[in-house]
Each structure stands twice: as structure tokens, then as C-alpha cells.
Amino acid sequence: MLISELQDKKIFIVGFGREGQDAFLFLRKQFPEKTIGIADKKEFEELPPDAQKLLNADLKVVLYFGDTYLKQIHAHDVILKSPGIPLRVINAQAKKKQTITSATNIFFSNCKGTTVGVTGTKGKSTTASLLAEVLKLTKQKVYLVGNIEQPALQHLSGIQENDIVVYELSSAQLETANKSPHIAVFLNFYPEHLDYHGTLSAYLQAKTNITKFQRADDYFIFNEADETVAKVAASTKAKPIGFKPKNNKDAAFIAALEPVFAVAKLFAVPKDKAEKAIQKFKPLPHRLQRVGAHKGITFYNDSLATIPEATIAALDRLGPTVHTLLVGGFDRGISMEKLALRLLKSKVRCIIVFPTTGESVVKEMEKIAKKEGIPKLPQSFFVNNMATAVQLAYDHTPKGGICLLSPAASSFNLFQNYKERGEEFQKFVKFYATHEQKKAA
């Protein structure tokens, strides 16, 4: 949607988190006198102080907060959906004549530069960050925006034709897309976010939008080893470039390097120079992050591992030295059977279990062990807080072993988000490194 098309429209921003606030600031700069409706399922008092201050200072906003936040949705022409609000929630209230869009759509419709979009169930942030570093070798100005916690619209006015934008795209940002990036990267597809999208097919449909609106002169870089992603590539209008991810044991992160090299080649960045930029790359926090070695135990924080496949990848990367695994979190209906099988084949001897999915992992292991006659299972400890979990890790991990936090589930039942979970882990690892922990049961 072009900015000019919003001139005479009544706009309704739904969701006032980071991206909703960014959209509001952008629109207010474009239309200083326009009355803008803002809605959020939270009560106004639950917003962060900065967000409350922002709205209190603006006399041209109409606020709809709390349980009835969508009550006046029908009174607006354009609904600007934030990623935190599922499209199905909007569709249930909106009328056919209303336009449903997003900050991502506005950005792609008005961006002057070359856009590189990155999506996939896992590895988006690391791949996008690596791409941004490598593409700086072109000497062009490079912007890294999107789900990487850099809202895009705040940068839009400064982006010129010769600039490059690397945009990390979540399924929530893609589900309303009617524009696709010039270069689209699709890393992988696993069951996730089913609580948000409702069905696996809706989740895939959202992801597919990264290439759905590409043209013949665009590029679609895809994981041809992933059957679902390969099927998406079969219907793209863009020039397809397939890659097969390899386990790069020299890197300090799990993300595949092949798509980075493929994009670099399109921008004429030599592979040897791209490799040097990658070697200097500092891994992102909460993604197989080495916390340190304390009392002879090496601790890794992989809190962003929110699906079983991510935890399996972490076990594969770290190898047989992993002795203790902290696993479990919010149950979104994803099967833990694959992870249970991988653990039974591993050298993991201690499993520290968070509710609720951690319990599912243990039950799956017990079921498989009984069926296949496996006599001895890893020792399991059930906990409901990070302090106790880390105490147990110190008590039961031998010197020379690795303790890995890789939950294979989201965090929302015990923690605000994966960051808080990872930070809690690091905090207690460092605390008990210098203090005697209480003996855990």
C-alpha cells in the first residue's frame, strides 16, 4: 500500500507493541493532523510507560483497549495489523470492503532499495544478521530490520535506491503480505506457532507469501533438502536457486551458510571475502550461546530452541559431551517423539524437566524404551523454576560435561519470553559459580 493511498483513509492500528508503535510514529510523521484509531487487547495501564506517554501526548488518537478493543473496527477503512494479533482474529471482525495491511506491506510497497527477505521456522535471525554483515562488503549501505527487533518503518524515509535492506520475516509479518522482497530466502519449515495460526496449512500459507508476489526478475533462494520448502519453490515466479545445508562444525552457530553465499554471489561478493566476514561474526544471544565453564562444567544457553528440531540440532552440534539437558515449556501441541528418540540415542544422562512439554519428552522416552527394551533411561528431575534447575545441573553434571538449556518449546507458561528464560539461566549459572548452591532434592 502506497503512502499516498492512506491520505484520506480512516486508519485503525491493531496491536500496540514494538511494531504497532513504530507504525504509529511513522504515520503521525506522514499525517500530522490525521485522527488514528489504536486498539490493543491489553488495558491501557498494562502498556509500557513509554507507550502510555506517547499516546497521552497525542490529541489526535482514539483509543480502544481491553476486552472490547475490536468493537469499532468496522468504523475504519484500513486496518493495520501488528504481528501480535492473528489474522484470523481480524478476519472474524472485519468487513469485505476494509483493507487489512501491515507495516511490512507498507514498507515493501514504498521502499526504494533492494530488499532481501529471510524466513523459515529456525535460523532467520542468524542468517539475516550474517547476510547484513556480508553485504556490507558491497560498500552499499545495508539495513537490518524486521523480526530481528528493528522495526522497519522508522528507516523507510532514509533508504535510497542503491541501499540494501535485509528483512527478517516471521510468519506473523508475512500473513497479510501482498508484496514480496526482491530476493527471498526460505530456510526450512517445521510445525510451530500452531496456537497463533490455528492450523499447519495456515502457517505454511503465511510463510509462502515471501515468494508469492515475486516477479520473474526476482530470486527465490530455498532449501531443496526440505520437502515442504521445495514444493513452494516449484510454484514461484522468481528465479529459483536451491541449496542443501551442511553441518558447518567450524562455525559457532547452527545456521546454514549456503544461503548466505548464494545471496552474496548475487551481489558479486567473492566467497572468500564472505567467509572472512562470517568468521568475524559474533553469535546472537540465546542461540547455542556459550555461557562459560564453571566448576568444570560448560554451560550453553539455547533458549530460542522452541521446537524439537532445534534442540536436536543443538545436540548434533555439541556432540556426546552433552550430559545434562534442560528441556520443556509451553505446550502448543507439537509432538516430542522425535526428540525422545534422539535423546535415547544420545549420551545425555540427566534431564531437567520444565512443565509441560518436558513431561511429554520423558513420557515419550519411557514409551519408546519399553517398546524397544531399553533398560536404563537418563535420570529425570521435575522443576518449575530456573534456580532449582541450575542447582540440579551443578549437582548432577560431571566435570568435563556440558549442560545445555535447549527447551524444544516456547516459554510462556513460566517466563515472559525466550529472552527472560535465557537470561534467568545465565544469571543462576554465574551465581552458583561463585556461591555454594543449596543441595537440590
pLDDT in tens, the chain (441 residues): 899 999 999 999 999 999 999 999 999 999 999 999 999 999 999 999 999 999 999 999 999 999 999 999 999 999 999 999 999 999 999 998 999 999 999 999 999 999 999 999 999 999 999 999 999 999 999 999 999 888 999 999 999 999 999 999 999 999 999 999 999 999 999 999 989 999 999 999 999 999 999 999 999 999 999 999 999 999 999 999 999 998 776 666 778 999 999 999 999 999 999 999 999 998 899 999 999 999 999 999 999 999 999 999 999 999 999 999 999 999 999 999 999 999 999 999 999 999 999 999 999 999 999 999 998 999 999 999 999 999 999 999 999 999 999 999 999 999 999 999 999 999 999 999 988 755 544
Please tell me whether residues 238 and 166 are part of one structural domain: yes
Domain range spanning residue 49? 3-101
| Per-residue pLDDT at 441 | 46
Looking at the DSSP bridge assignments, the partners of residue 219 are 183, 239
Please tell me whether residues 249 and 397 are part of one structural domain: no
* Residue 439 in domain: no
User: Which amino acid appears at position 184 of this protein?
Assistant: A
* Residue 441 in domain: no
* Residue 207 in domain: yes
Please tell me whether residues 20 and 132 are part of one structural domain: no
The enclosing domain of 157 has a CATH number of 3.40.1190.10
The domain total for the chain is 3
- Domain end call among 256, 279, 302: 279
Please tell me whether residues 57 and 159 are part of one structural domain: no
* Residue 137 in domain: yes
- Domain end call among 260, 279, 298: 279
Please tell me whether residues 256 and 313 are part of one structural domain: no
The model's pTM is 0.93
CA angle 374, 380, 386 (to 5 degrees): 150
| Per-residue pLDDT at 136 | 97
Please tell me whether residues 266 and 317 are part of one structural domain: no
* Residue 213 in domain: yes
CB 343 within 8 A of CB 365: yes
* Residue 284 in domain: no
Please tell me whether residues 142 and 257 are part of one structural domain: yes
The enclosing domain of 306 has a CATH number of 3.90.190.20
- The three three-digit cell numbers of residue 166, written as one number: 535485509
Distance CA 219, CA 181 (A): 9
- Domain end call among 279, 300, 325: 279
Distance CA 146, CA 171 (A): 12
Please tell me whether residues 82 and 131 are part of one structural domain: no
Distance CA 212, CA 207 (A): 9
The enclosing domain of 88 has a CATH number of 3.40.50.720
